[in-house]
Amino acid sequence: AQSVTQLGSHVSVSEGALVLLRCNYSSSVPPYLFWYVQYPNQGLQLLLKYTTGATLVKGINGFEAEFKKSETSFHLTKPSAHMSDAAEYFCAVDYFGNEKLTFGTGTRLTIIP
């Protein structure tokens, strides 16, 4: 079965430090890739997406992600963490365009003042 792996269920970084959240998918065919953020007691908000084209994707709030086919990865980064970035982050994949998003287990990001 197709899966999405997010390494690290909890990540803590200091304010101003680099944020790196990892996501790997399981397919030899490049799927559509998404990162969503969930703040407490809220729904999911799209940060960025990769469908086709440029492999470095820029999203909202200073986040970006790079699609690496050779590594089947789509890691999320932000150069400088802000307190407001504390939330849960989900990587999601639409394999083969079948309109079912498969989500990773999520990574809870904590920002240390």
How many Å apart are CA 5 and CA 42, to the nearest integer? Answer: 23
Asked if residue 99 binds other proteins (CB under 8 A), the reply is yes
Compare residues 79 and 97 and give the one whose CB is closer to other proteins: 97
Q: How many residues interact with other proteins (rule CB under 8 A)? A: 23
Q: Answer yes or no whether residue 51 interacts with other proteins by CB under 8 A.
A: yes
Task: Round to whole Å and give the CA distance between 41 and 37.
Answer: 12
CA distance 17 to 43: 26
What whole-number distance in Å separates Cα of residue 31 and Cα of residue 25?
Answer: 9
For position 106 contacting other proteins by CB under 8 A, the verdict is: yes
Closest to other proteins by CB, 17 vs 30, is: 30
Is residue 60 near other proteins by the rule CB under 8 A?
Answer: no
The C-alpha atoms of residue 102 and residue 81 are separated, in whole angstroms, by 27
Q: Which residues would be at the binding site for other proteins (CB under 8 A)?
A: 32, 34, 36, 42-46, 49, 51, 90, 92, 94, 97-106
